[in-house]
Amino acid sequence: MLFTVAPGALFILVFLVLPSVYLVGMAFLSSGPYGLPTLPLSLQSFRELAGFGFLGWSPGNLYTLIRSVWQTLLATALVILLAYPAAYYISTRPARWRPLMLLAIVVPSWTNQVIRSVGWMNIFAPGTPVSDLAALLGLTAPQMGLFPSQFAVIVGLVYNFLPFMVLPLYAAFERLDTEQVEAARDLFASPVAVFRHAVFPQTLPGLMAGIVLVAIPAFGMYVVTELLGGGKATMIGNLVARQFAQASNWPLGAAGAMIMIAVTLIGLKVLRDLGRRLSGDREVVL
Amino acid sequence: MSAGRLENGLRAFWIVLLVFLYAPLAVVVFFSFNSINSSARFAGFSLQWYEQLFRNEAIVAALTNTVVLAMVSTIIAVIIGGLLGYGFYRYRLGRLSWLVWLIYLPVIMPDIVFGIAEMTFFVAINERLGILSPGLGTMVIAHVTFQVPFVALLVNARLLSLDPQLFEACHDLYAGPWQRARFFLLPVLRPAILSSFLLALTLSIDDFVISFFTAGPQSTTLPIYIWSAIKKGVTPEVNAIATLMIGSVFLVAFFSLLVQHGPSGGRPSKGGRRA
């Protein structure tokens, strides 16, 4: 047992748990010279994070938090809209095609995150056909690219996380009891009613798993917002990262990280309750 | 709504989806062969950016770092994580059972939080003990840390799907620990080990944030190089580096297809790093 469990357990304890504990502690320290953490213990970082600074209260950080939640919800909703038909379509193909189709969905997400954003930077740059079309339609000013913008951030988020929704939904569709669906059809249920009463409840566990896999990393996004977003679409991950780079206030960054984890946990709880209610308490979804 | 119309609609949707998924990658590859410095207009085919790339020592060093980081961390993670997955299965941990829950920690931890936690920890250790100065070493440690849980979970899942009587059969046949590992565990775990190897590799290749925060001045990887290069806009040179990395991912994808259709048929499933 020592031989099998010890190396992994030690690694996780030393390089995962210890750093996390250190970060939590840092949030309750003061910001010293160069923004490095020093004693005494204080709640200054949390106060600053809530917007209380030298010049009184400012809503900037609060806006960033709200924007983070909003952009996460929007991207997740769009991912669900795209993933449902995709997962259904794959599950209705001949069995020998399905692994290849799933691989086609997943492969882009294996490339480096930075490269995926570089791809969209190429497409949304000024003067490209896509940007020219947007300008022609009056969506952007002429000679302007489509990035940096909130639109580009949402596209980037959807692009990054689509596979994480398709895979669990596909797994749910593969196990779908088609007799229920056919029974509903035989009873002249409309397509909407078939989806709502026969398909949706059966794919709910897959949907829930997908939301967890999409929304958690989307909420913590750093790369996409930094590269495609500019100032108007920054999320809390960028706010936190800035405290360890340009702005340099480690305790403030650590406090921001605490808030990120807290919001993530609250989100998981809300999702779990929602899943319970939607499935009529039949089973624990998460 | 007739079944035929639904079918046609879905097929059209599928094609649009594939365009959406592959257009950004295709554009990168396409403009890496552009003879002029533009990603809006293609003037002619040229390999000049690739020639420039291999003459640039910084890029060659970054390429080496990238490959070393991915391979070393993946091999270590598969060994440590595989043993851990087996240990969790084989032994009742009793008072240590909370350890199992710890491996879910990276699941709820955004990678930016993970990255800064590692970075601040390494800095603190380095100040006091003089070890773990930022570089490839710290990057490997950070990568192994987020890879191990996924390897452990995959190997553990495979073991849970086995008939427990097989272990008793080994015992009845007087197999020692070494023989049990060699003739029973390794063969039945081969697909899980292979797919966890591929998963850990893609996790490492995909990562930018954690590398970025744990890197030192001498351990720039290709994604970090690109990150600092595109502050001035996307250049064909950046597209050329990206094309090389996209190519390597397609190679991994090809291998994973082989693994899927191999004799033992284990399926690597990437549920994301936070799966």
Q: What is the pLDDT of residues A156-189, one digit of tens each?
A: 999 999 999 999 999 988 888 878 888 888 888 8
For residue B19, count other CB atoms closer than 10 A to its CB: 10
Best of B116, B131, B151, B185 to disrupt the A interface (most A CBs within 10 Å) is B116
Contact A11 B80 (CB under 8 A): yes
| CA A63/CA B275 separation, integer angstroms | 29
Is B223 in the A-facing interface, judged by CB distances under 8 Å? Answer: yes
| pLDDT, position B139 | 96
Pairwise CA distance, residues A253 & A239, whole Å: 8
- DSSP secondary structure letters along B161-225: TS-THHHHHHHHTT--HHHHIIIIIHHHHHHHHHHHHHHHHHHHHH--HHHHHH--TT---HHHH
Mutate which: A69, A100, A115, A263, vs B, most B CBs within 10 A: A115
Q: Which domain holds residue A254?
A: 69-278
Q: Is B1 on the interface with A (CB under 8 A)?
A: yes
Are A213 and B272 within 8 A, CB to CB?
yes
Task: List helix spans (H) across chain B.
Answer: 3-31, 48-55, 57-90, 98-102, 105-108, 111-129, 136-160, 165-172, 177-180, 186-206, 209-214, 222-229, 236-260
Three-state secondary structure call for residue A57: strand
Q: Is residue A110 part of a domain?
A: yes
At residue B16, does pLDDT exceed 90?
yes
Q: Rounded to a whole number, what is the distance in angstroms from the first to the last CA of chain B?
A: 37
Note the pLDDT tens digit of each residue in A99-134: 899 999 999 998 999 999 999 998 998 888 888 888
Boundaries of every domain in chain B: 57-260
Q: Is the peptide bond before A85 cis (omega within 30 degrees of 0)?
A: no
Q: Name the residue among A22, A122, A260 with its Cβ closest to that of B121.
A: A22
Q: What's the CATH code of the domain at A97?
A: 1.10.3720.10
Instruction: Test A89 with B11 for CB contact under 8 angstroms.
Output: yes
Residue A88 lies in a domain: yes
Q: A26 and A254 in contact (C-beta within 8 Å)?
A: yes
B84/A9 touch (CB, cutoff 8 Å), yes or no: yes
Residue A56 lies in a domain: no
For residue B15, the chain A residue with the least C-alpha distance is A86
Residue A157 within a domain: yes
Q: Which residue of B has its CA nearest to A90?
A: B14
Q: What is the C-alpha to C-alpha distance for residues B274 and B149, in angstroms, rounded to an integer? A: 10
Which chain A residues are closer than 8 Å to B270 by Cβ?
A: 106, 109-110, 163, 167
Beta carbons of B96 and A9 less than 8 Å apart: yes
Give the model's pLDDT for residue B93.
64
Domain count, chain A: 1
pLDDT in tens, chain A (286 residues): 677 888 888 888 899 999 999 999 988 887 777 777 777 877 788 888 877 777 777 888 888 899 999 999 999 999 999 999 999 999 989 988 898 999 999 999 989 999 999 999 989 988 888 888 888 887 777 777 888 889 999 999 999 999 999 999 999 888 888 788 888 888 888 888 888 888 888 888 889 989 998 999 999 999 999 999 877 888 999 999 998 887 788 899 999 999 999 999 999 999 988 888 887 655 544 5
- Tell me if A118 and B239 make a contact (CB, 8 A cut-off): yes
Residue B231: DSSP 8-state: G
Contact B102 A8 (CB under 8 A): no
- Is A43 a member of any domain? no
Domain-located, residue A85: yes
Tell me the C-alpha to C-alpha distance, in Å, between residue B212 and each of B181, B238, B273. 38, 17, 17
Is residue A31 classed as helix, strand or coil in its secondary structure? strand
CA atoms of B265 and B188, how far apart (whole Å): 11
Nearest to A170 by CA among A269, A99, A235, A264: A99
CATH 1.20.120.1810 fits B57-260, yes or no: no
Verdict on whether the full-model pTM lies above 0.90: no
**CB atoms inside a 10 Å sphere around CB B177:** 10
pLDDT in tens, B87-120: 888 876 666 677 777 777 776 788 899 999 999 9
Query: What is the number of other CB atoms lying within 10 angstroms of the CB of residue A274?
Result: 14
**Chain B contacts of A221, Cβ < 8 Å?**
110
Q: Is B42 on the interface with A (CB under 8 A)?
A: no
Nearest CA in chain A to B7: A89
Do the Cβ atoms of A111 and B107 come within 8 Å? no
CA atoms of B73 and B145, how far apart (whole Å): 9
**Is A8 in contact with B208 (Cβ distance < 8 A)?**
no
Q: Is residue A196 part of a domain?
A: yes
Can you read off the two tokens belonging to residue A148? 């940096």
What whole-number distance in Å separates Cα of residue A156 and Cα of residue B11? 24
Task: Say yes or no: ipTM exceeds 0.85.
Answer: yes
Nearest to B120 among A26, A111, A113 (CB): A26
Q: Which helix (H) or strand (E) holds A52?
A: strand A52-53
Put simply, the answer to whether A4 touches B90 (Cβ < 8 Å) is yes
**Amino acid B265: pLDDT:** 41
The answer to whether the Cβ–Cβ distance between A113 and B223 falls below 8 Å is: yes
Task: Return mean pLDDT, chain A.
Answer: 86
Cβ contacts of B28 on chain A, cutoff 8 Å: 115, 118-119, 122
Longest dimension (CA), chain B: 73
Please, which pLDDT band fits residue B262 given cuts at 50, 70 and 90?
Answer: low
Q: Is B206 on the interface with A (CB under 8 A)?
A: yes
Q: Tokens 């590859």: give the residue.
A: B29
C-alpha A213/C-alpha A196 separation (Å) is: 23
What distance in Å separates the CA atoms of residue B161 and residue B154, rounded to the nearest whole number?
Answer: 11
Query: Nearest Cα to A16, choosing from A4, A28, A8, A6?
Result: A8
